[in-house]
Amino acid sequence: MKHLSFKPLWEWFGFSRREMRSSLILLIIIAAIALLRFVIPPVKPDPELIVLQQNLESQDSLKTVVTGSVTSNPVPRPRTRKNNIIIELNTCDSAALESLPGVGPVLSSRIIKYRNLLGGYASVEQLREVYGLKPATFDLISGRLKADATLIRKININTADFRKLIRLPYFEKAEVTSILNYRKEKGKIASLEELVDKQLITKEKIEKIRWYIEF
């Protein structure tokens, strides 16, 4: 029985004896490396290193590229909240009123006109009497308003004529006529209660006009 020989194969490829020996050693090394990959288990990455890498990546994502350079996102500056400003109804202008939510040029003009008609606001609640101001809008803006009743322009009931008295929205024409006739007959009126006693105005009307009448 003849022995198996690789010599003719090497000679066919044209290898010398030294080249055959080197090639054989190289094949053994490659086979050994391939075998080690299956024998030795792969090294698992450290979980702490994975978490650290994820944290670093999340920090990098917060950066913004500006004109080719990387800069951190600027920290927003605290803004002054305009809605903390309280507006005084008897001294404000239309621009201040228009800064309120739901109040435009038309509504702000009506608020000021009604203020002039009254002689000033005694309370914020009187805004409910302004034409076109919806209850929802009043609820939205009332917390940002105040009314200084000391700024009200009063009417002297003992010297005012018909035109001045009827200008006050709370007076009816019949009431003003009765007051003038009573004043002409009896002289000076001492108090609002006197007008109620003489049935010239109702008791409920006193609460509305007391801020606007002087004697």
Please report whether residue 148 resides in a domain.
Answer: yes
Residue 111 covered by a domain:
yes
Is residue 42 a part of any domain in this protein? no
The boundaries of the domain holding residue 113 are 89-153
Would the pLDDT of 91 be above 70? Answer: yes
User: Half-sphere exposure of residue 111, counting CA atoms within 13 Å on the CB side?
Assistant: 34
Question: Does 47 reside within a domain?
Answer: no
Amino acid in the structure at residue 37: R
In the three-class reduction of DSSP (H, G, I as helix; E, B as strand; rest coil), residue 6 is classed as: coil
Domain co-membership, 142 together with 196? no
Shared domain check, 134 and 120: yes
Residue 125, pLDDT score: 97
pLDDT band (50, 70, 90) for residue 66? very low
As for how many domains the chain has, the answer is 3
CB 88 within 8 A of CB 146: yes
DSSP string, 71-99: EEPPPPPPPP-GGGPPEETTT--HHHHHT
pTM: 0.61
Residues 161 and 113 in one domain: no
Among 113, 192, 121, smallest CA distance to 152 is for 121
41 within a domain of the structure (yes/no): no
Q: What is the pLDDT of residue 59?
A: 55
| CATH number for the domain that contains residue 93 | 1.10.150.310
Q: Where are the beta strands (DSSP E) in the chain?
A: 63-66, 69-72, 87-88, 145-146, 155-156, 213-214
